[in-house]
Structure 1
Amino acid sequence: MSNTETRPAEMRCGGEAEADRPADVEILTARDVPLGGPRAMRVRRTLPQRARSLIGAWCFADHYGPDDVAGTGGMRVPPHPHTGLQTVSWLFSGEIEHRDSLGSHAYVRPGELNLMTGGHGIAHSEVSTPDTTVLHGVQLWVALPDEHRGTERDFQHHVPHPVALNGGEARVFLGTLAGVTSPVRTFTPLLGAELTVSPGARLVLDVDPAFEHGVLVDTGDVLAEDTPVERAALGYTAPGRTSLTLTNRGAAPARLILLGGPPFGEEIIMWWNFIGRSHDEIVQAREDWMKGSRFGEVQGYDGAPLPAPELPNAPLKPRGRVR
């Protein structure tokens, strides 16, 4: 998915001090962002923000729907570029057609992972299919570490099997949880899973104490540890825990996305759809996209590529450490 903001902020992210992180659950509330056009489908963005820029290598989290495409037109994101990251597409309902400059032509369907590696540069388009009536899901980005951020472009598809838990169910699309490991390649240790928590259930998960975690609530009356996490909010926990307790206080199943990874030890600059390490690197990526080099061509999309926004006059100052 593209960041379609017309004036995206340039942010220097990362470098939060481990000792400064709170021990309790920190709540990150979402902000609404239109996904282009006057009738735009709106997404709820919890990462990045001033309070916290990354969770592990997870650097971007959009949660959208249930969206009636008859009213909004659904998703139609023209070809656009990415550098220095992996995109993770995960749906609860609907279907999205994906095309990229690697030549991939695939569909994003509920319960199926599509992971695209941008590396040095890739372009792709995303369009909800004509049969889609309700679109509902998450779009996530993963920052590539410095040694791998120039890697070759790639595309992976995986269908995780549901795993029964005591009080719910998990679909582990990245990393390891509940004895299940995803075969999908990442460049830093990561955890990504869809969790369903049964009505009234208390779900206790064994987690890696080296990881920080984020619980993004899609549906349900949820507690992370003893802290309420509202729908579309993200509950953050610092490294050091060997277990994570999730409670559904409601009368219907709760659905969550669990993200995790060791703290990302590098600062990154994120602007529009690019992740780099310097302002000049971002400027070069934008220039390459606008002149049609480096990123390749997306075949089969009916329409023009998405132009890059104008760069700010000067880079913004680095974000402060989390206190």
Structure 2
Amino acid sequence: MSNLDLRPPATPCAAGPTGPVRDLRPGRPVPLGESTVVRRLLPTLGRRMVGAWCFVDHYGPDDIADEPGMQVPPHPHIGLQTVSWLHAGEVLHRDSLGSLQTIRPRQLGLMTSGRAISHSEESPRPHRHAPILHGAQLWVALPGERRHTEPAFEFHTDLPHIAGGNGLRATVILGTLDGATSPGTVHTPLVGADIALAGGTDARLPVEQDFEYAALAMAGEAEVDGVPLPVGSLLYLGTGRRELPVRATADAAFMLLGGLPFEERLIMWWNFIGRTQEDIAQAREDWATGTRFGEVKGYDGARLAAPELPPTPLKPRGRTR
């Protein structure tokens, strides 16, 4: 997933207060590629991270039967992991490691950029892709000791499931939830899960008291901790809970994102996460000159050009509003 903003602001990755919170935020519409509009939910003003989760886009359901669908040209990343998660449709992933993988609903595409990687994402060409596209793209910030690791791509189809009773079912995408652990590689204590609620669900989901959490509404009308979730919204929940009440009068789904609050000071600019102005400037220069990030082969089109750096210095910041 790329940030296609040609004038990206310097985004301090930060989060808010500790303790239970119920902060509901709508998504901000952002064009992505040729024909996709996403709802950007992280980062936003006043809310930068949930654990190590630092970037969340929700898209669809979109009817793309006669449209190109998702078309995101080759672009670079450092210092993060990307998570692709679909409820409907298909996304074809290519990267500079030579990976070529079609990702389908409830399959995990996990790319670790480490020191440097580039990739593209696209719907299979017209008349070959599914008619509906619906999903989420997310980033996870890598901790300092792992940010220069070797790049990697993982694809997992066999993810653990939880039957919570009273109409609740969950798929663990990353990390651990209620004793079930995803095979996806993580570098900080976190969780990402897809929660499905049958109509009439009234259940309690066990969570970690030290984790902060947020719920991304994917479908239907879920109610989390007493708050109704409009589709495409993000409910920040803070920390301090041992269980999370969830309800639904009709079938609904949401993604649960959480983790230990991320304490490192970061800079997030364009598609890079670094610690210093020099980190970001060097990554931009390396992408512009065709070094370090490798080549994405097979994409029918030009790669993304890096925007100009802002005139003011980029400064790392901590977990502040």
Give TM class, smaller chain: over 0.9
Spell out the pairing of 1:193-212 with structure 2 (5 A cutoff).
193-212=193-212
Distance 2:258 2:185 in 1: 15
What is the CA deviation profile of residues 149-184 of structure 1, one whole-angstrom value per residue up to 9, with x for unaligned ones?
A: 011000111121443221221111111113311121
Structure 1: give runs of 5+ residues left out of the alignment: none
Q: Secondary structure at the match of 1:79?
A: strand
2:71 aligned partner, one-letter code = R
2:134 aligned partner, one-letter code = H
What is the CA deviation profile of residues 50-89 of structure 1, one whole-angstrom value per residue up to 9, with x for unaligned ones?
A: 1210000000000000112246521111111000000000
1:52 aligned partner, one-letter code = R
Q: Secondary structure at the match of 2:21?
A: coil
Match of 1:164 in 2: 163
Match of 2:44 among 49, 58, 69: 49
- Cα gap change, 1:284 to 1:227, in 2 (>3 Å): same
Q: How many residues align?
A: 316
2:197 aligned partner, one-letter code = V
Q: Does 1:301 align with 2:299?
A: yes
Match of 1:34 in 2: 31
Q: Tell me if structure 2 keeps the 8 A contact 1:28–1:51.
A: no
- The alignment-based identity, stated in percent, is 52
Distance 2:208 2:240 in 1: 8
Structure 1 segments, 4+ long, off by >3 Å, are 315-323
Match of 2:179 in 1: 179
Q: Does 1:90 align with 2:85?
A: yes
Q: Secondary structure at the match of 2:287?
A: helix
2:29 aligned partner, one-letter code = D
Distance 2:110 2:5 in 1: 23
Q: Does 1:73 align with 2:72?
A: no
Q: Tell me if structure 2 keeps the 8 A contact 1:202–1:246.
A: yes
Structure 2: give runs of 5+ residues left out of the alignment: none
1:44 aligned partner, one-letter code = R
What is the CA deviation profile of residues 98-152 of structure 1, one whole-angstrom value per residue up to 9, with x for unaligned ones?
A: 1111111111110100100001000001110132211110000000001110110
Q: CA RMSD for the aligned pairs? A: 1.7
Q: Secondary structure at the match of 1:297?
A: coil
Match of 1:23 among 6, 20, 23: 20
What is the CA deviation profile of residues 183-239 of structure 1, one whole-angstrom value per residue up to 9, with x for unaligned ones?
A: 211110110111101112112111111110110001122222112222111111222
1:163 aligned partner, one-letter code = I
Distance 1:24 1:97 in 2: 37
Match of 2:2 in 1: 2
Distance 1:158 1:320 in 2: 33
Distance 1:147 1:318 in 2: 17
Match of 2:99 in 1: 104
Match of 2:278 in 1: 280
- Cα gap change, 1:318 to 1:187, in 2 (>3 Å): closer
- Deviation, 1:297, is 0.8
* TM-score normalised by L of structure 2: 0.94
Distance 1:71 1:215 in 2: 32
1:79 aligned partner, one-letter code = P
Q: Tell me if structure 2 keeps the 8 A contact 1:217–1:233.
A: yes
